[in-house]
A and B are shown apart, each in its own frame.
Chain A
Amino acid sequence: MIIPFFNGLMSPMRAPMTWIIIFINLFILVLTQINMSDIQNRLEDLAENEELSQIQGRIFASYILDNSNRYPSSYQKIAEEALSNSDHEKTGLLGALALRDSFFYSDSNAFLTTDKTVSGTDSVEKAWWKEKSKEVLLIRHAHAGYALGITEESRSPLQWLTYQFVHSDEMHFFANMIVFLIFGAALESVIGALGLLMVFVISGLGAALVYLVIDDVSAIPLIGASGAVSGVVALFCVLFWNHGLRNFYFLFVPARGYMGFVYVPGWLVLLLWIIADLAGFLSTPGELGGVAHSAHLGGELCGLIMAFGFMIYFKWNKKSWREKTEMNTQSRMLGATLKIESI
């Protein structure tokens, strides 16, 4: 187990902007969790409704076959099997996928009013599904994740900013904020509070841009600070690319020598970070979703670009940021990759 532990956890006095950003995220999390629990429960109830899932799956299957140019062959194969074999499992899967689909919900009412025959679905089911789909849209409208996050059909300029401060739950929040606290605070001591804010926001914007360009955008909103945090990490690692960054290690044996500090150069940290996201992006089909690895990659790309900007800026101003930092690093690990200090 290896945890970055540059200067420990820096206080709000030493890293004010880091803590302000964390508190803004926390405030929004508390606010959304208080107001959203009922809405979230209703949304989950609808998503778990077996009848709705089956009927929606059949309608979605017909919709896919009717718009085959828009869907990959895997979708078409499932749709054909769901309709021709009355396969409950596949119909249920399509019902769940329909909730993620950007086109289906906006198009489906028009699709159904064209008196389209949906195999295995009668007028009562169609009418009931229409009511339920309206309910889903209404709930989404009132849901913070959808109102503040970025989706295919909803991406106003404000949402590009707000999505970075919304988290789905406590775990999502803590995972992002712990990394941000470690890297953000360390970076703030180098580039200052405004610099950190700028990096955070620009990385977030870049993350959303890459996500919208290269990923299979779904109706499920993009939310969370992870894209922005990836930018902060990337920038930090580039600035300290050949310095040993202090990490705490623990080899699962509570004895002397099995724990201590390992100094890892920034380039290696960044490389591992990018590989993890790239592997995640390449291994996750868009239709299954989950973590938006493409947004992480976007954030990292932004961080890299900004890092070069900072390096040029410091060079022109003949300043050295490394000397003025409070960072606990092993300076200039040229030639060495890792250095270990056991305790």
Chain B
Amino acid sequence: MVVRDQTTENDLSLVRTEELDARLASPLHRFAAFVIDYYIIVWPIILLAVSPLVRSMKLSMMVGDDYESNVALITTWIVGWFLILFYQAVCLSFWGATPGMKIMKLEIVNLWNHNTRPTLVGAFSRAFFLSMGFIFFGIPFLGIFAYPRRRAFHDRALNTVVLTTRSRYAVKAPGLTEMLVTRTVTWMFVGSLLIGFISTLLYEAKKGDLKNKVSLSERLGREDAACAGLNEAYENWPQENGEIASRLSVAMALFAAEQIERECLEKEARNPFLDEKDVALSYLAKSFIHADNQELSDLYLEQVCHDADSKSEDCVLAEVIEAMSNEDYAVIDQKFSELSPHGRVYSKVWALRQYLREERYEEASDYLDGLPDDLTLGHFSVPSRVKVLWGLKKPEAARQAARTAYDTLPAKDKTDLSGWMCFEEMSQSCEQTTQKSCQIFGRATEQDDRMGRDLLPALTMFKMAECSENKTEGYQKLLQGLLHSEVKNLVQATAENDYAGLRKMLLRSKPYEEIENEVADEAALVLAETTKDDTDMSLIQEVWSEKSYGLRWEQIGLKLFSFWQSKKDWLQAVKVGEKLAPSLREDEFLQEYAVTLYKAGMKKEAVELVADIESMTLKSETERQPASQDDYEELLKLIEEKEK
């Protein structure tokens, strides 16, 4: 076999080149013959021959039988390949040309002996090399332009040459320029292919490596580990109302605590051996499973109360969810208040989450007691306990609980909790940035610059920028990184003192919508801090009046109260104080409120409040001193004189 083209100057004595050179086939005619052979003759035959295999492959793929579909695919390729070899071999060995060549008046002859056509084995080998040309992206065919006598790789391999029988259609041998250009293009193409191939190999190897890691962690994290977590929790689960909790009840609690995925809950809810007493609960679970399809979810909720007592926890929770989807917040509050803090764990978890979201910490603390230990409930209780303690104004206890939690919590929960704590610390005072929570959160943001995409970490980062020494630089740095879009707007408006933008954010406040509510609260605080305009403060007050609880709500209220006091607008200050007083039971505030009442001419109310303050012992853990201690002393004296 001769792979190199040997019709070089040295071979001229062996080959009668004049005759060959006068009859070289045109590349165009060869291409036309190729089209006729493969697109008109062979391709339809192959299509017909492999059609049962293709059918079998499609069916196997539909059934998901990879083995059978791969076998069918490989067989299809082999049959197709064999047909091409057979067609070429038979045609060339018997007639010296394929039908396409015959039509185009072409023939194949042996280079050394022009009167002989290839043997069957030779034709078969030539066809083999020709088919290799397809596998190598047609590069070997470029030999037609790059070698003397226009011989592609398969011609050189078998010592053949393609000639035309009509000498008027013959073409010349490629010139030096044509050969050089073709060879350059060929090698450039081969080089690019090699580079592409090696890069792909390296990329795939890296991707495969990553994929293996991800798939392993995914498998462990999403399914096995999550459902294994359910098994573990079930074994250690405490009794509920004096009874052993069912697996579905445990799954519901873990799902509520965001410790298992929906698929895991679905498996439990679809358990065909479900206990009869859990039927209503399974409907409740399915309403969560089908949360994306409101119509079906609602049907399940209806079924819960149909199968259970209307006062049962399952039915009450079903009504809560229905109210949530209808955005009927009054019903949500009322129904949650109907849930007993001594009920089943899953209802406690839902209630606790709801009250924490609404920043109603006293109610939340009722549901916190009696939850299973932290390990069983998968790190849900500890962060909740920290938040409740903070919300109940026990900062030292909360800090202590958080410090303990940081040693045991997994990385993500730890970052979430530290972010929350840091935000609360800085909302109290910028001096608190040295607390452990802020240090942990700061380190986490340095390690993961995508953290700002979520709302709460983004707000904490905003607070950190606000508390930094160079605020402008802090805001700019934040704006350059990845940041939650709403928080980005807030940072931009704050950095540019864009009051109109802040007002816009403030007016978008929706008490029960987390994103709008949190951003609006921050916008209100920034606005109250920077503008001293009565209209802006009235606007803040208007929005603020729609709520009646929450840590941020109290802060905004205090700012409004101080503002109206400083303006000596006692009636406005009384309006704010009146709303704040029921929840802000702190000596300092109440004393100031009493003074304000007195100055607003509401002496009777002031006297009553003073009596109230004096009679009860308030334990304040904050170290803030009242701004008008003297006024309160004066008021006490006045009241004493009046009493005398």
Contact = CB atoms under 8 A, between A and B. Distances in A.
Interface of B: 28, 31-32, 35-36, 40, 44-45, 47-48, 50-52, 54-55, 58-59, 62-64, 99, 103-104, 267, 270, 272, 282-283, 286, 290, 292-293, 295-296, 299-300, 303
B296 A51 contact: yes
A124 B103 contact: no
Given A51-B290, A51-B293, A90-B64, A272 B44 contact: yes
Nearest to A51: B293
B64 A283 contact: no
A297 B299 CA distance: 49
Interface string A107-135: 00000000000011011110110000000
A154 interface: no
A128 B286 CA distance: 13
24 contacts: A51-B293, A74-B59, A78-B63, A81-B64, A120-B270, A122-B286, A124-B299, A124-B300, A249-B35, A251-B28, A258-B28, A268-B40, A272-B44, A276-B47, A278-B51, A279-B51, A281-B51, A282-B48, A282-B51, A284-B58, A337-B103, A340-B32, A340-B104, A342-B28
A268 B39 CA distance: 12
Given A272-B40, A282-B52, A337-B99, A93 B299 contact: no
A128 B296 contact: yes
Given A78-B62, A282-B52, A285-B59, 8 more contacts: A89-B64, A90-B64, A275-B44, A283-B51, A283-B55, A288-B62, A340-B32, A340-B103
B300 A86 contact: no
Interface residues on A, range: 35 or more
A337 B101 CA distance: 12
A96 B64 CA distance: 15
Contacts, number: 91
B58 A283 contact: yes
B62 A287 contact: yes
Contacts of A128: 295-296, 299
A77 interface: yes
Q: Which 3 A-B pairs have the closest CB atoms?
A: A282-B51, A283-B54, A283-B51
A282 B55 contact: yes
A279 B58 contact: no
A331 interface: no
Interface in A234-253: 249, 251
Interface in A316-340: 337-338, 340
Contacts of A278: 48, 51
Contacts of A340: 32, 103-104
B44 A276 contact: yes
Interface in A122-154: 122-125, 127-128
Given A74-B59, A119-B272, A288-B62, A279 B299 contact: no
Contact of A251 (B35, B45, B51, B58): B35
Contacts of A127: 299
Nearest to A120: B270
A49 interface: yes
Interface in A5-52: 49-51
A-side interface mostly: helix
B44 A257 contact: no
A276 to B, nearest CB: 7
A325 B50 CA distance: 40
B360 to A, nearest CB: 33
B295 A86 contact: no
A159 to B, nearest CB: 29
A288 B58 contact: yes
A338 B59 CA distance: 39
B32 A251 contact: yes
B33 to A, nearest CB: 10
A238 to B, nearest CB: 19
B299 A74 contact: no
Interface centre among B28, B282, B283 (most CB of A within 10 A): B28
Contacts of A338: 36, 103
Given A282-B48, A285-B62, A124 B283 contact: yes
B284 to A, nearest CB: 12
Nearest to B283: A124
Nearest to B263: A88
A74 B52 contact: no
B460 to A, nearest CB: 36
Interface string A276-303: 1011111111011000000000000000
A73 B295 CA distance: 35
Contacts of A249: 35
Contacts of B36: 338
Nearest to B60: A74
A135 to B, nearest CB: 11
A74 B65 CA distance: 10
B64 A86 contact: no
A279 B296 contact: no
Given A51-B293, A275-B44, A86 B270 contact: yes
B619 to A, nearest CB: 52
Contacts of A77: 63
B47 A275 contact: yes
A41 B392 CA distance: 53
Contacts of B292: 50-51
A124 B52 CA distance: 43
Nearest to B58: A285
B302 to A, nearest CB: 8
A280 B47 CA distance: 8
Contacts of B48: 275, 278-279, 282
B503 to A, nearest CB: 40
A20 B35 CA distance: 37
Interface string A213-251: 000000000000000000000000000000000000101
B592 to A, nearest CB: 57
A249 B39 CA distance: 13
Contacts of A283: 47, 50-52, 54-55, 58
A280 B59 CA distance: 14
